[in-house]
Amino acid sequence: MTRLTEWFSAGRSSGKHTLPFVVILLTMTLLASAANLFLPADSALYVSTYTITLLGKYLCYAMLALAVDIIWGYCGILSLGHGAFFALGGYAMGMYLMRQIGDRGVYGNPLLPDFMVFLDWKELPWFWLGMDHFWFAMLMAVVVPGILAFVFGWLAFRSRVTGVYLSIMTQALTYALLLAFFRNEMGFGGNNGLTDFKEILGFDLQADSTRVSLFMITALLLAVLFVVSQRILSSRFGKVVLAIRDAESRSRFIGYRTDRYKVWLFVYSAVIAGIAGALYVPQVGIINPGEFSPINSIEMVIWVAVGGRGTLIGAIIGAILVNYAKTRFTAIMPDAWLFALGAMFVLVTLYLPKGLMGLYAQMMAKRRPAKTQESEA
């Protein structure tokens, strides 16, 4: 047990919260799932499937925030295009789910998805091949964002595009992809994207049990990725990454090829975003080019900023809080939401540069000296 705690909390100061956080996250997940599956619908503690799906969506966003934080909070690379990796992962999953429909589409065509029949396509484009195998689609969900991140990162980091330039380039990247996926000729369903999914691995997507399972898998994967990321970032690799963030040229002068570190971290982050996207799609039931829109990518950054960048827990909490607020706000005052979101951007950057976690750390720091004084007295 001590070894376990040790493993979780290796090294860094934020590490000591890892185990409790994971325990809370998984417990909550289990409780919510059980409340949905085993309690009667009229029980006061019943958690509706709607809520489960909503929570599942939040957790996907949390995973995405984790990805953004790894690259921004720890390495100082502000990516305004993480939505692209998320969406690509989502499309891979969407393509698999689309193939699962088989001949149950409206045209009953066993070979082609509906939108292709609709646009009079004769055969499946090459990039759809293999997508009817779950393992292959999932491989693509991580490989495609990974490769894109690798190529982009390799080009950008090697030629030392940094700071705001890089941010703008990532934004251009996701914008270019947005335009591309809008095109119907691309073979991804154009503006409508992919939808009307029926089942995943043979399980009915509309069944409560499937939804709960997806939710639980999301929570579990989030926990795993969280712990693994925490480990990676507290290894010497993580120290190098921090060193790059704070003084990149210094790191180079002591012999680290910083571009390689950045590329691999970028790829890792993109892969996490891809996984988040792949989990997102079966839960919300649609993937379309809107996910590539630059605004979405910027919104992700604000989740991390609100929660506190440079702390993985902060990113997760930020994503969940902001999205919960969004759900509530847009229901009560749809017009006020954009004001609130805008103000959040300004206020957090001005007054809370370290986010809620920074605030929490400050509060703890204040309380501690007070305590020690008390004990001395």
Residues numbered 347-366 forming contacts with other proteins, rule: CB under 8 A: 348-350, 353, 360, 363
Task: Determine, following the binding rule CB under 8 A, whether residue 180 of this chain makes contact with other proteins.
Answer: yes
Task: Determine, following the binding rule CB under 8 A, whether residue 193 of this chain makes contact with other proteins.
Answer: yes
Residues numbered 26-85 forming contacts with other proteins, rule: CB under 8 A: 28, 32, 35, 45, 47-51, 53-55, 57-58, 76, 78
**Three-state DSSP class for 194?**
strand
Task: Determine, following the binding rule CB under 8 A, whether residue 237 of this chain makes contact with other proteins.
Answer: yes
**Amino acid identity at 47:** V
**Three-state DSSP class for 66?**
helix
**Amino acid identity at 67:** A
Nearest-angstrom CA–CA distance, 241 and 79: 16
Nearest-angstrom CA–CA distance, 165 and 12: 31
Task: Determine, following the binding rule CB under 8 A, whether residue 294 of this chain makes contact with other proteins.
Answer: yes
> Which residues have C-beta within 8 Å of that of residue 12, sequence separation ≥ 6?
233, 234, 238
Nearer to other proteins, 217 or 325 (CB): 325
Q: Which of 8, 115, 188, 266 binds other proteins (CB under 8 A)?
A: 115
Task: Determine, following the binding rule CB under 8 A, whether residue 234 of this chain makes contact with other proteins.
Answer: no
Q: Which stretch binds other proteins (CB under 8 A): 141-149, 218-226, 231-239, 368-376?
A: 231-239
**Three-state DSSP class for 203?**
strand
Residues numbered 313-332 forming contacts with other proteins, rule: CB under 8 A: 313, 317, 320-321, 324, 327-328, 330-331
Q: Which stretch binds other proteins (CB under 8 A): 111-119, 130-138, 219-227, 269-277?
A: 111-119
Q: Which of 143, 161, 220, 352 binds other proteins (CB under 8 A)?
A: 161
Nearer to other proteins, 139 or 343 (CB): 343
Rounded to the nearest whole angstrom, what is the least distance from the CB of residue 182 to other proteins in the complex? 6
Q: CA nearest 159: which of 50, 262, 57?
A: 262
CA 87 remoteness from chain centre: 10
Nearer to other proteins, 127 or 324 (CB): 324
Q: Which residues pair with 217 in a beta bridge?
A: none
Q: Are strands 203-204 and 286-287 parallel, antiparallel or unpaired?
A: unpaired
Q: What radius of gyration do the chain's Cα atoms show? A: 22
